[in-house]
Structure 1
Amino acid sequence: MLGDLKEKFERASAAYANEHAIVRDPDWYILKLQEELGELTQAWNKASGRGRKAGTPIDELRRSLADETADLLGHVLLFAHKNDIDLAAAIERKWKFRPDL
């Protein structure tokens, strides 16, 4: 199932890159991962009271946290896809369970 998810993210990312003339060279994948981690960190800082959030409703803070987590997951999967990484096998090897995703 991770393979299916990787393929879906790849199709969405490729379409977005094509629409916006983005060149997804090998470095792009790791740089986007870093960018998305930064955005998740920023969302966490706001949600946990460590960043500016004056007047931001809690549901908006939680939605931002969820959205940035989804972006990070997507870019992890894109990185794995681009680099032919078998995430299911790596999870089983490193975490000692089979992912049912």
Structure 2
Amino acid sequence: MITSSRLTLAEVSDASGRISDIYAGKYAIDRDDDWFLLKLQEELGELAQAHLRLSARGRGEATEQDRADEAADVLCMLLLYCRRFGIDPDAAVRRKWLSWLEPAA
């Protein structure tokens, strides 16, 4: 159980994995390689939908909580995708993004 007020990326990743296992078992979902990418795309679409609704460019209404919930879904699905394919998100972010903060040699 997570008790700290701030979550690390590793904690979110581990919890997402456990929750995904529970969800897949409950609904008999076969999570093959494609499922992880397609589910990430689905969640990104739902985030886009909430964004469009909040900016009055989509049908229906949304709240900031809807946007936050969909962003959480995208984050967790991305972490699940990384787990599935053995990607270390911490190492990848350090290599791809944080290297820009290092002084040029």
TM-score, normalised to structure 1, is: 0.85
RMSD: 1.3
For structure 1, the residue ranges without an aligned partner over 5 or more in a row are: none
Match of 1:51?
58
Match of 1:70?
72
- d(CA) in 2 for partners of 1:2 and 1:44? 24
- d(CA) in 2 for partners of 1:84 and 1:8? 16
Give 1:7 shift: 1.3
What do residues 1-60 of structure 1 show as CA deviations (whole Å, max 9, x unaligned)? 42332111000011011001111011100000000010000000000110123xx4xxx5
Any idea what SS the aligned residue of 1:8 has? helix
Moved runs in structure 1, 4+ residues, more than 3 A?
A: none
Any idea what SS the aligned residue of 1:80 has? helix
Letter of the aligned partner of 1:65 in structure 2?
R
What do residues 57-101 of structure 1 show as CA deviations (whole Å, max 9, x unaligned)? xxx51111010000000100000011110111111111116xxxx
Match of 1:82?
84
- d(CA) in 1 for partners of 2:84 and 2:10? 12
TM-score, normalised to structure 2, is: 0.82
Match of 1:93?
95
Larger relative contact order, structure 1 or 2 (CA cutoff 8 Å, min sep 6): 1
1:26 aligns with 2:33: yes
For structure 2, the residue ranges without an aligned partner over 5 or more in a row are: 1-7, 100-105
